[in-house]
Amino acid sequence: MDYPLAWDNGDSYVGLTIFTSISDCCATIEANGRSCEVIDECAVVAEEEVNDIKSQSYNDRQKCGHKWHMNLERTWGCSNSKDFPDDWWFEESVEQLLHDTPESCCNEIFGNPDCEITDECATDINNSCTAPVWHYDSENHLCTNHGNYPMMWELEEEKYLYQTHEECCEKNASWLQERHCNVHDFCIEWNEVVGRD
């Protein structure tokens, strides 16, 4: 990777200079009034694979793993999701980055056995439909409540998060294509995209 080694130290840079997705990175850059140019130096994924991933339901994409690691979506925590770089499985990395218990993960990574735990395998995972939060999805150009947005947006909720899809459409009118607000209500059905004027 071509970035300062300090960025790999803990999770203080995750969500600020290191992101788990292109859309999170661009959302942060665009939130500061700049345009986002993407340079992807990794292998290109076949278009069919991308379309297959987009058509899966959000619940299908939830990943329950068996090893605990630094949570890439939340600060100061460990998760057992499968959402981490493949190179963490390399022999020289696995002992430092992947752990058998949440306590050993917290202790080894943060020096404290009591960090925030996100158990993706738990059956009582919070459902975003209990209190839907609407936000603009710049990748798909629509307002949605699927809950997959940059954590930084919670710091400025009034700017990025909305109680209704109408409010989301109204506040993001300049981003919408053809003056038409598409709404994707995850609480009804993931594959259904409802057009709203």
Element counts in the chain: helices (H) and strands (E): 7, 7
pLDDT (0 to 100) of residue 85? 84
How far from 151 is each of 29, 63, 73, 78, 110, CA to CA, in Å?
14, 18, 7, 15, 20
Hey, what are 75's tokens?
């600060």
Nearest to 75 by CA among 100, 110, 101, 49: 110
Tokens of 44: 């290109």
The three-point CA angle 151-155-159 to 5° equals 100
Give residue 167's pLDDT: 92
CA-only gyration radius of the chain, Å: 18
What's the pLDDT score for residue 118? 86
Task: Give the pLDDT score at 176.
Answer: 63
Tell me, what's the pLDDT at 41?
A: 60
Sequential pLDDT tens for the chain (197 residues): 455 555 555 555 566 667 778 888 888 778 777 888 887 666 444 344 333 333 333 333 345 677 889 998 877 889 988 878 878 888 788 888 999 898 999 999 888 878 888 888 764 434 456 666 898 887 778 888 877 777 778 788 888 899 998 999 888 877 666 667 888 887 775 433 444 44
